[in-house]
Amino acid sequence: MQIMIIMSTIVLMISFIVMMLTNFLSKKNIEDREKSSPFECGFDPINSSRLPFSLRFFLIAIIFLIFDVEIALILPMTIIPFKTNIMMWTITSMLFLLVLTMGLYHEWYQGSFEWAS
């Protein structure tokens, strides 16, 4: 048990030393105006490079990711019934699809799918 503690301590110390060395060696001391400004085809930018981001687009992207993961979970459900109890598979699948449908209805009811309001 003591060997595990000693080895863990050694590994943590080596990791800490490596992190501190990389942090110390990677510091830049010279601030260059050209390198810290946004690059726009070699010209100074006319407008601000930070444009406002559409929150609606972000919400639709998050909803897409959620449903994309759900499809990745649904696809293996076609293979599972041959290897398990059919009644348990049916209950689990129906519960999963019910929760997914309720989430879709909630998002639709809240108006998250309306692009322009």
Residue at 11 is within a domain: yes
Look up residue 11 and give its two tokens: 């590994």
Structural contact between residues 70 and 100, judged by C-beta atoms closer than 8 angstroms:
yes
Instruction: Give the pLDDT of residue 19.
Output: 92
Residues spanned by the domain of 60: 55-110
Instruction: Give the pLDDT of residue 58.
Output: 80
Query: Is 62 found in the same domain as 106?
Result: yes
**Higher per-residue pLDDT: 116 or 93:** 93
Query: Is 104 found in the same domain as 71?
Result: yes
Structural domains of the chain, count: 2
Query: Is 98 found in the same domain as 60?
Result: yes
Query: Is 20 found in the same domain as 61?
Result: no
Q: pLDDT (tens digit, 9 = 90+) per residue, 11-69?
A: 999 999 999 998 888 766 666 666 666 666 665 556 665 667 777 788 888 888 888 88
Instruction: Give the pLDDT of residue 12.
Output: 95
How far is Cα 106 from Cα 117, in angstroms, rounded to an integer? Answer: 18
Provide CB contacts within 8 A for 114, sequence distance 6+. none
Residue at 88 is within a domain: yes
Tell whether the model's pLDDT for residue 10 goes beyond 90: yes
Tell whether the model's pLDDT for residue 6 goes beyond 80: yes
Tell whether the model's pLDDT for residue 109 goes beyond 80: yes
Q: pLDDT (tens digit, 9 = 90+) per residue, 69-104?
A: 888 888 888 888 778 888 888 898 899 889 988 988
